[in-house]
Amino acid sequence: MDSVSQNLLDWYDRHARSLPWRVPPDQSAKGVRPDPYHVWLSEVMLQQTTVAAVKSYFEKFLRLWPCLTDLATASEEDVMKAWAGLGYYSRARNLKACADTVAAGYGGHFPTTQADLIKLPGIGDYTSAAIAAIAFGEKAAVVDGNIERVITRLLADATPLPAAKEICRTEMSRITPDDRPGDFAQAMMDLGATICTPKRPACALCPLNEHCSAYRLGTMEQFPVKLAKKAKPLRKGAAFVAIREDGAVLLTKRADKGLLAGMSGVPTTAWTASEDGATGAEAAPFRVPSGVRWTGCGTIRHTFTHFHLELEIYRAADLPMGFCTPALDGWWSSATALPEEALPTVMKKSLSAAIPNAFKPKA
């Protein structure tokens, strides 16, 4: 084991983050491995999401579905409800598809190699390497955003991302030890998250500072080099919150493909990542009874990966109990059921603009 690997593992043994899906390093060093289901679930959740945000979702999923076969028997609707608010909803659909595949094709047990793991739905280069290394001890090159930052600084490599990814993968392959590859990968993640941070890295505390070219040059914050991002466009549309006289809210299910596919929400105009939707009360996709009016409730703004969205919010209250909108194929969700619906954040914002206390805990 070279000095980079040894220094980092020694540091990890003292400073590893305590995370609900991890085996502590003192146990891992003795050969104890985490449940592959826990590793997979956490890694899928952590894609594009912070550790702080993931912890409660991870614990909720384990309460609902303690093992993979439990998740495989769940309905996609229930999985989407449990995932609501975590974002990037294709991950939830892939999670369910992967659980189904492993349950049906592998007897409920994950394959043990990166080469086989990468064949599963929703599992790419990074996730397959992470599961193989952490859960099964394979010497796989695990490279996420934190690790890219650490390695480009170690090498002071000015190749811009994403071209630098292959350089990082090659270097990670070289320095990953045969012994404890999973701990080494997690140590690199922890180093990037806590010491080798994007701004003001704590280089004096870094176990790898003697090996770091950027530290010697004083250029740490220049790495990794990233190409300038294009400005995100602003899209506009409108959302319509219809409230029945008993307080129930009209919800619909979005199409099975496209943005927020399969999620629940209030009716909206047809905005997309590339086109604006109609605006104004007259753009409502259904008529309300005579005597009921759409009232403006301001606008909300939400940011997706590739664009910003601004929605005008309209509210129609005290709709009669017999009111229905068959063309929308919607349903009425009671005030108590609303927080349990599979509502993405943009829909919760829309509802909160029209019903300020919709998601506040009931006394």
Active site (annotated) includes residue 43: yes
Q: How far is CA 344 from the centre of its chain?
A: 12
Q: Which of 43, 138, 148, 312 is catalytic?
A: 43
What tokens does 161 get? 């991302």
Which residue from 267, 265, 274 is spatially nearest to 236, judged by alpha carbons?
274
What tokens does 127 get? 């996730």
- Extended strands (E) in 254-322: 264-265, 295-303, 308-319
Distance CA 241, CA 209 (A): 56
Q: What residues pair up with 249 in beta bridges, in sequence order? A: 243, 333
Distance CA 69, CA 91 (A): 18
Look-up of token digits 């940011």 = 303
Q: To which H or E segment does residue 234 belong?
A: strand 234-244
Distance CA 44, CA 40 (A): 6
User: 252 CB contacts (<8 Å, ≥6 apart)?
Assistant: 264, 265, 266, 267, 328, 329, 330, 331
The CA R_g of the chain, rounded to the nearest whole Å, is 24
> Which of the 8 DSSP states describes residue 255?
P
Active site (catalytic) residues:
43
